[in-house]
Amino acid sequence: YKNFPKASKAIHNPSCWNFEEGRYEYDGVAWLRKKFYYSKCSPIYLSFEAVSGYKQVWVDGELLGDHYGSFTEFSFLTNELATGMHEVVVRVDNRHDETTMPRPFVDWKIWGGIYRSVQYSSVKDVIISRMFIDVSWDGYEPTAISIRVRIVNSCKHDLKVPCSIYFEDNEIFNGNVNVEDSGGDIYLGKFNIRDVELWSPRNPKLYAVRIVCGDDDIIDKLGFRKVEAAKGKILLNGQAVKMLGINRHHTHQAHGFAIPASLSKRDMDIIQNANIN
């Protein structure tokens, strides 16, 4: 990438370019860019939630990397950015053939574009990119959670970082963790829990888990449930449950794959009102 194509126009993102005039049947390469003002002086962690096909990403003319997969999130860590204007450029290719997934002939439209959110975070030292939780059970009673995190290290040298874990409002861990220069997955420990409610459609109880490492934190919600299959039945927490399902296509006649949250919420309300579990 050297120069952004001259014949360009403004487009709203997230969106699918097929809804631009004259582009409905277009499959191929598109170039998208965003200029932004950065008020700090540090690296940034740039995350894309979903972009069609194969893509390459540049910041200020520097190639950060590439990614293939239309519905998987991907991220890049930049070098230190100075205070001022910067530019993100994305080359997107949604062409499909015998080597791609999906292959050429499917019974649905393969849209092109950036159709989920793009975000960036300032990075002082480390950033938490993922949280992983495994549950230990005693029968149908959850007894402990094992937690690990995936850390991105912007300092490029080994660090010792303060870390805390909160289960709901209770601090269950406070200590230092060693982060290697390349970052990676870190096991934080196994922590006993008790007196938690099981998740079910009638009681969709969720518990907040918050992890703080350095100046960054991540929050997710966790439901405790055990699903089994026995004697031709599906069991939820040991009880037989009748599954009432529905197939919701992830596409919309006016938005393609870039379905607004308000329309997704409407669909969920319709599904819930129909007693789909």
Tokens matching residue 268? 């969920």
Burial 59-73 (b: 16+ CB within 10 A, else e): beeeebeebeebeee
Q: With beta carbons less than 8 A apart as the criterion, state whether 166 and 172 touch.
A: yes
Per-residue model confidence (pLDDT) at position 6? 83
**Residue extents of the structural domains in the chain:** 17-122, 126-224, 230-273
Per-residue model confidence (pLDDT) at position 259? 96
CATH number of 17-122: 2.60.120.260
pLDDT tens for each residue of the chain, 277 residues long: 778 888 889 999 999 999 999 999 999 999 999 999 999 999 999 999 999 999 999 999 999 999 999 999 999 999 999 999 999 999 999 998 888 888 878 888 889 999 999 999 999 899 999 999 999 999 999 999 999 999 999 998 999 999 999 999 999 999 999 999 999 999 999 999 999 999 998 899 999 999 999 999 999 999 999 999 999 999 999 999 988 989 888 899 999 999 999 999 999 999 999 988 8
Per-residue model confidence (pLDDT) at position 103? 83
Torsion of CA 190, 192, 196, 199, to 10 degrees: 20
Q: What angle do CA 181, 182, 184 make, to 5 degrees?
A: 120
Nearest to 161 by CA among 210, 213, 212: 213
Distance in angstroms (rounded) separating the CA atoms of residues 172 and 196: 15
Of the candidate CATH numbers 2.60.40.10, 2.40.340.10, 3.40.50.10490, 1.20.1260.10, the domain formed by 126-224 belongs to 2.60.40.10
Compute the Cα dihedral for 266, 267, 270, 275 and give only its sign: negative
